[in-house]
Amino acid sequence: MTLSFKGYLLLNGFLLCFISFNNVLNFNLIDLTLILSILLYSIKWNESEWLVPFLLFAWGIFQDILLGMNLGYSGSIFLFFYVLSQITSINGLFEQQKIKFIIFIIALLILFIFKNLFIYFNYQLNYLSVGELSAFLIMVLLYPPLNLMIIYSQKKYEEIR
């Protein structure tokens, strides 16, 4: 997706709105950071949009300040899924939805294991719980409808342009 000035405004506005939802929506099983990551993964980015990763990094810092996380947490998750999106489109896998879905599950699993190992070694805590597993499954279930929504919106956006 090649972004015009309006497109950049739209993207930043969308990111701001989504991050602001953290103020209001406080669910135990639904992680808004991961939902935003699904959306970032579902978008087909243009290879020459070099500004987007910097924007995602900055919005990650913004979210970390709002949530009180250590700086770098949200940014690294956003960028991780952005890179995956780029890798799938460079290798021609973007249109193959089944493979894309499998890659998403593997990526989510890697993130999930990494997070739990980090908490285990850093805090000596076993964070793994039914709630955590349910949150993982909910993200997997949310992927198909969100992906469809983004594909549809992106097609409409390209048509309008």
Partner 1 sequence: MRTSRNFYSRYVNKNSYLSILIPVGLIIFSLIFYFGRFDNSNLSNELRAKSINTVYSITSIVSSPISLIKNGLESILEIQNIYEENQRFKEMQLLDSASFQEMVSMKLKIAQYESLLNASNDIEYDFRTSRIVGDFSNNFNSTLIVNSGKEENIKLDMPVSGSNGIIGRISHVGERLSRVLLISNINSRIPVIISEDGYHGMLVGQGRENPTIEYVEHIEKISIGDLVTTSGKGGIFPPFQLIGQVVGKKSNEIEISMFENIATLSHVKLLNYKLIKEN
Binding site for partner 1 (CB under 8 A): 16-17, 19-28, 31, 45, 47-50, 53-54, 56-57, 60, 62, 65-73, 75-76, 79-80, 82-83, 86-87, 90, 92, 119, 123, 125, 127, 129, 131
* Cα–Cα distance measured from residue 139 to residue 38, given in angstroms and rounded to the nearest whole number: 8
Q: Which amino acid is at 132?
A: E
Give min distance, CB of 159 to partner 1, in A.
24
Give min distance, CB of 21 to partner 1, in A.
6
Instruction: Count other Cβ atoms within 10 Å, centred on residue 88.
Output: 19
Cβ distance to partner 1 smaller for residue 10 or 148: 10
Give min distance, CB of 139 to partner 1, in A.
14
Which secondary structure element, helix H or strand E, spans residue 140, and what is its range?
A: helix 130-160
Give min distance, CB of 154 to partner 1, in A.
17
Which secondary structure element, helix H or strand E, spans residue 82, and what is its range?
A: helix 73-90
Cβ distance to partner 1 smaller for residue 3 or 69: 69
Give min distance, CB of 54 to partner 1, in A.
7
CA distances (Å), 9 to each of 12, 16, 36, 64, 149, in order? 5, 10, 17, 21, 20
Of residues 79, 31, 82, 32, the one with CA closest to residue 58: 79
Cβ distance to partner 1 smaller for residue 9 or 148: 9
Cβ distance to partner 1 smaller for residue 29 or 148: 29
* Cα–Cα distance measured from residue 32 to residue 26, given in angstroms and rounded to the nearest whole number: 9
Cβ distance to partner 1 smaller for residue 5 or 50: 50
